Chains A and B, each alone.
Chain A
Amino acid sequence: MSRLQEKLSRGEFTVTGEIGPPKGTNIDPVIHEAGEYLKGSVTAVNVTDIQTAVMRASSLVGCVKLKEKGIEPVLQMVCRDRNRLALQSDLLSAAILGIENVLSITGDHVVAGDHKGAMPVYDLDSVGLLQAMAKLESGTDMGLDNKGAPNALDGSPKFFKGCVVTPCAEDVEPQVIKLAKKAEAGAQFVQTQAVYDPKAFEKFINLVKQYKIKIPILVGIVMLKNAGMANYMNNFVPGVQVPKEITKRLKETDKKEVPKVSAQICGQLIRDMKGMCQGAHLMTLGWDRYVPDIVAAAGL
């Protein structure tokens, strides 16, 4: 059982972090930073999978590198780039490499990225990918042999299966309905899209309860690097609204002090929402060195 699963099943408030592999082969700096700043502060670290459809090294290699450093990885998997053959194959590979935490994501469309002419695959959706994981765990794959019987695996994996949700989307009910389907498909934990509004999060949590979804939820916390980023998120990132007070506070802060203030904002958000969820997922977008500050500001 992964440490992440262990901690969450004990009911402990759990913090995860996130890194992105490089565009190129120079992976050492990001892994070094994770070792310096994330290792002691978080339970597990997500490795993004060709995030926002911008081509880069794989999540799998990032996970292996983290493991070598003694950091527990969470393998992110998007449905955009691989069909069900490749996805299942990579899931087996991950298990062989000792990776247990896997996160199922639909994945941003290729038009968001830097290869706009690429073929968007989406052979499976995020629910189908969770079903695929569960299937592999049960000892067969998604295919059928010539007689129409499921193909038996020679050794089956065991995963801690995660999924994502956008809790502050304008239309939150369809998000929660899909989350319920993900839980039904076998998801065991949730990491959310960025939340800046505890009131909206509370509304979401109430709906989650109404739909009887019982898996642990780690609230998503994204560090704001300046007021401009807050405005950008409001305009272009679906389902993310940064309240005016936060933007104002960043605007009025001396440039040198922004990281400290931003970490305090994150810490305060975690304090405000701690009672409603089971953990927090920190996305620092390269500002890994402030993760210990966030954890301290959250009083964890």
Chain B
Amino acid sequence: MLLTEAKPVGEVLNLIGADKSVFLLGCGGCPVGAQTGGEEKLAGLKAELEKAGKKVTGSMVVDFLCNKALVGSRFFAPARAAQLREASRVAVVSCGVGVQSAAAILGKPVVPALNTISTNAVQGLWPSEERCGQCGDCMLGMTGGVCPITTCSKSLVNGTCGGTNKGKCEVSPEKDCGWLMIYKRLKALGRTDDLRKMNAPRDHSKSDIPDRLRKSVHWALEYSKAEEPPKQATA
């Protein structure tokens, strides 16, 4: 299971920026277990966004958002597709992998509502091209939904290095350059301005698991009795 924590609502609103309309997409897998996602949390976020003057065009929980085929099929229904079309942004309540798969197939700028933190090992995940490095400070809202931590060989946070060559990374002609992927995605979305934003050096302490979670069932079943739901961060 991948472990997640809610981003402060203020940060989610910042990422949405001036855009008025948002579609809410949630994962019914790991975030439910981590008590950061699912119908109830989505309803909570919807209320917060509406309070801040945003229009929520629709809201949906998909089992295993990390499975792209599953996500795509859920938007076949015309009513859903219309809700998605109407939204300028998709706020995604899932781990970094789910946000990336949504970004990869929905053709909309995404906003991550959660931070993915380290479990120091993962059991039982649906493999797909997208990977999450569990950095604890999700940047997908500024990178077109492509993770720079896992796609860039140097995990750079401010754009491409000089080693990018014909779309490939300097470490191997077999490896795509992550920042070129980000550039191309943002270009397709008409949002290359996002590349101009300055990103602060990473705070590596954020990827560490907090003590309260280390003593809970989210870390190990041995702690089932000591379970304590993660405190909801507020803006």
Contact = CB atoms under 8 A, between A and B. Distances in A.
29 contacts: A80-B154, A106-B161, A109-B153, A109-B170, A123-B201, A125-B156, A125-B157, A125-B201, A128-B201, A142-B201, A164-B162, A165-B162, A169-B165, A171-B160, A171-B167, A171-B183, A173-B183, A173-B192, A174-B183, A174-B195, A175-B162, A177-B192, A178-B159, A181-B158, A184-B198, A185-B198, A238-B164, A239-B162, A239-B164
A238 B171 CA distance: 11
Sorted nearest first, the 8 A-B pairs with minimum C-beta distance are A238-B165, A178-B159, A127-B158, A128-B201, A106-B161, A166-B162, A122-B154, A125-B156
A246 interface: no
B162 A193 contact: yes
Contacts of A238: 162-165, 170
Contacts of B195: 174, 177
Contacts of B192: 173, 177
Which one of A125, A126, A164 has the greatest number of beta carbons of chain B within 10 Å? A125
A174 to B, nearest CB: 4
Interface in A122-145: 122-128, 131, 142
A108 interface: yes
B162 A109 contact: no
A94 to B, nearest CB: 20
Interface residues of B, number: 30
Contacts of A128: 157-158, 200-201
A123 B162 CA distance: 17
Interface of A: 79-80, 84, 106, 108-109, 111-112, 120, 122-128, 131, 142, 164-166, 169-171, 173-175, 177-178, 180-181, 184-185, 193, 238-239
B216 interface: no
Contacts, number: 96
A132 B186 CA distance: 28
Contacts of A111: 171-172
A169 B183 CA distance: 14
B199 to A, nearest CB: 8
Interface of B: 153-167, 170-172, 179-180, 183, 192, 195-196, 198-202, 204
B170 A177 contact: no
A165 B196 CA distance: 16
A87 to B, nearest CB: 10
A238 B167 CA distance: 10
B159 A120 contact: no
A180 B158 CA distance: 11
B164 A106 contact: no
Contacts of B201: 84, 123-125, 128, 131, 142
Contacts of B164: 169, 171, 174, 238-239
Nearest to A112: B170
Nearest to A124: B201
B180 A171 contact: yes
A170 B168 CA distance: 11
B134 to A, nearest CB: 17
A136 B179 CA distance: 29
A262 B157 CA distance: 39
B165 A106 contact: no
Nearest to A170: B166
A120 B162 contact: no
Contacts of B180: 171, 174
